[in-house]
Structure 1
Amino acid sequence: MSTSGCSLVESPMPVANRLFRIIVQSAFLIRLMALMLACASSVGRQLTTGFMLWGVLLGASSFLGLTSRIDAIGFVMRHPALAMIDVAIVVTMLSIEGPDNVLMLATLPTALLVGALFRWTTALPLLVVLELGYFGALAAHGVSVADAPYIMRVGIPFIYLAMAAIGQAINYGTSQLTVAIDALHRAQAEKTAALERARLARDMHDSLGKTLHGISLTAASLPHWIATDSDRASALATQLGAHSEVASQEARTLLTGLRRTETDRPLLDLLVERCSQWSQRTKVLARATAIGLVDVDDETRLCILSVVDEALENVDRHAAADSVQVEVTADSQRLQVSIIDDGVGIAESIDGAVGRARYGLLGMRERAESFAGDLSITRNGSRGTRVLLSLPRNAEERTT
């Protein structure tokens, strides 16, 4: 996990991509195990320099495919010429050491990797080179294809072909899984957007719609009262102004709720954006990170964003802080949001602050309690304040 300024922790790999990498890394692991088996079978024998050289080369390439410190798999996929180097090592090893060498087992996963890592247009030439290299190794060691044992004449070439075909199936399957997941995400986003439109329509009907209807009725009667009762007309005009202001506030509330919820965007993106905007305005560094969070429903999202907004405003007004850390952690039971600053620190408990009509803090606590959660505000050691919002992860628990 890493952050920079208001940047977010790196998002997890898509499911299909993780699955693909696990399978490819398994192929590298099989090749590494085959090398270990070849070395074990050679115990007690005189190992040649060539044997050790090929073992080291194949082992090094296998280890690079297994390590997570560098994206060797992605690099090879972007540069197919590197795969040709690996195939060339295998073919050269077969030509020098012979196709009946114990290292032969370590060459079989190469075909699987060729098929899995590349489209067939790239994989096919690599497979042809591997197959021709194998038959060339037979000829180089004086073994006639017609006279070779069946396993060497047919079995090994077929295994190469089958491994490459399995790799291609893996490549195709994971790509289709990616397409299916993307389609599911789009469908979920469309469903969420439809629900949000329905919610907005209900809110407009219940609040803004009624206010505008009242304005319309008042405005319709105003010409009559202007002609018959100027005092009454003046009072109605004043009411129109007041009702117009109410309508304006209701419209802002609806639009603010729509903007802040933004159900088609991940919560983490919104938190990072909120931190960035706040940092630009206050010149105080704010960072957002997350551990174990997938996403939350719309109501929980709005609750979290509202609490974070209020906490950041309190930091700006009272903390004299240099930096703020917003962190979201979640497991299967609870979701916690902590806002930690390095400012002067809160001088009283939340109960004391609420008791002195600190309505912002009261609103934060009431939001938490409305979700069957809790909110605590404490000093963060010798310097700073820690706001901790804890909510149930499952929506069902909020009604119990």
Structure 2
Amino acid sequence: MPGVAEGGPATTRLAVTFRVLLLLRGMLLAMAVVLRGSAGPGHGLWAAIALLGLETALALAAWRPVLRLVRRLPPLCCLDALLVFAVLVQGGVFGPFFLFTVMTAALAGVLYAWGPVLLVCVAQIALCFAAMGTASPAERHDPGLLIALPVFYPIAACAGIALRILFDQYAEAEEARRRAEAAVAAADERTRLAREMHDSLAKTLQGITLSAAALPAWIRTSPDRAERDARDILSALRVAAREARGLIADLREEAYGLPLPAAVGHVAAGWSETAAVPVEVAAEGSPGDDIPVAVRYEIVSVLKEALTNVERHARAGRVEIRLVRSADGLELSVRDDGAGFVPPDGGRLDLLAREGHYGVVGMAERARRAGGRLCLRSAPGHGTTVTITVPRASWPAGDAAEPAATP
């Protein structure tokens, strides 16, 4: 089909229609044989039917190369019209075989532009009149049929052309939808980066600014305090640099553009190679291509932070990651067999910030932004399990899933 990329959605629909029309052609041929009834095909008609049946069966069996070849060479449809002519001569134009012959024109309408379609239609009309000339006077019906019957060839071709136009329009609509989804994903990405910069980098830089503004006064009045503040400013600058690198790394992270199971596997494999810790990944349920961008981003970010904590603190020998997708939502758990620790009473994860465990607090905040919650289970010597659960009902409203392709 002109203007359609090989292997694209419209080409796939064209291939399906091509096979459907071939099946319909074979069915019409079989019905014509049955409707022939007691008259029964003669030897010549049997030969023509067998040849066309074999042609249809071979085209169905090897439809991919046949479709490519027929699309490149429109004269092959004219050759098929010659085979159909043999059936009309043997079986009669005014018999049940005529309806079968219009499928050639319908296929031409689907496959070609106007020029080749007209060529096939003219060839079929000429051959139809030639077949009418071979009919005996007893077989001839109302003279009006001499004009009416050949008209079915251009009608069938126009139907095929209309179907092809629908394919083109649908392909354009699909492309417009993909562009709209890409625009939504880009807007979501800008919003996410703005939020990340506000929640992390901007606050860190604001603290550095306030400390630096007070530094001259402390130098004059309390050199010791000034020295401590200078060290704090240097430490905060390192944190800001790390946060900036993290944001840049997020821009380059391929996992955020993948379906969630693939993203989890991608992150786990990369971390396992870097940290030299075996990781077992198990994914259950549907692929999850419809998960909103914001939810998928936060879950992948929680996974990355959880693995970072394992590498820094757990001294684990093995990590298990389990992703479960159901009709009610999804759940991701990361379990290690490391040192573990004593979680705060009552699940107060915010208390961990007092001890410098900002990563767990950040994961809890990400879980809330995704519309879910974070659960932390751990005990000294028995490892740690981090679980994020996001019910489907709490997915952000109006958020659309972006195409599952690497940006």
Superposition TM-score, scaled by structure 1 size? 0.66
- 1:8 corresponds to which residue? none
1: CA distance between counterparts of 2:389 and 2:222? 59
Is the alpha carbon distance of 1:114 and 1:213 closer, same or farther for their aligned partners in structure 2, counting shifts above 3 Å?
same
Say whether the 8 Å CA contact 1:55–1:103 is kept in structure 2.
no
- 1:203 corresponds to which residue? 196
- 1:3 corresponds to which residue? none
- 1:305 corresponds to which residue? 300
Partner residue of 2:159 out of 160, 166, 170: 166
- 1:180 corresponds to which residue? 173
Q: What residue identity is the alignment partner of 1:170?
A: L
Partner residue of 2:106 out of 112, 123, 129: 112
For residues 61-72 of structure 1, what are the structure 2 equivalents within 5 Å? 61-63=55-57, 71=64
2: CA distance between counterparts of 1:163 and 1:278? 60
2: CA distance between counterparts of 1:222 and 1:242? 15
Q: CA deviation at 1:276?
A: 7.1
Say whether the 8 Å CA contact 1:127–1:161 is kept in structure 2.
yes
Say whether the 8 Å CA contact 1:279–1:285 is kept in structure 2.
no
Q: CA deviation at 1:187?
A: 1.0
Sequence identity percentage: 30
Unaligned runs of 5+ residues in structure 2 are 1-6, 311-315, 344-356, 376-385, 398-407
- 2:212 corresponds to which residue? 219
Partner residue of 2:117 out of 94, 117, 123: 123
Which is higher, the Rg of structure 1 or of structure 2? Answer: 2
Q: CA deviation at 1:52?
A: 2.8
Say whether the 8 Å CA contact 1:192–1:263 is kept in structure 2.
no
Q: CA deviation at 1:209?
A: 1.2
Say whether the 8 Å CA contact 1:112–1:166 is kept in structure 2.
yes
The count of residues paired between Structure 1 and Structure 2 equals 359
2: CA distance between counterparts of 1:53 and 1:312? 71
1: CA distance between counterparts of 2:340 and 2:46? 74
2: CA distance between counterparts of 1:166 and 1:292? 38
Q: CA deviation at 1:210?
A: 2.2
- 1:133 corresponds to which residue? 127
Q: Which digits, 9 at most, give the CA deviation of each residue in 1:266-290, with x for residues without a partner?
A: 5566467557756977799999998
Deviates more, 1:161-170 or 1:190-199: 190-199
Is the alpha carbon distance of 1:22 and 1:280 closer, same or farther for their aligned partners in structure 2, counting shifts above 3 Å?
same
Q: Which digits, 9 at most, give the CA deviation of each residue in 1:34-64, with x for residues without a partner?
A: 1121121234344333323333343344445
Instruction: Give RMSD over aligned pairs.
Output: 5.1
Say whether the 8 Å CA contact 1:211–1:243 is kept in structure 2.
yes
Superposition TM-score, scaled by structure 2 size? 0.65
2: CA distance between counterparts of 1:356 and 1:49? 91
Deviates more, 1:290-299 or 1:389-398: 389-398
2: CA distance between counterparts of 1:32 and 1:195? 51
1: CA distance between counterparts of 2:301 and 2:141? 76
Is the alpha carbon distance of 1:241 and 1:77 closer, same or farther for their aligned partners in structure 2, counting shifts above 3 Å?
farther
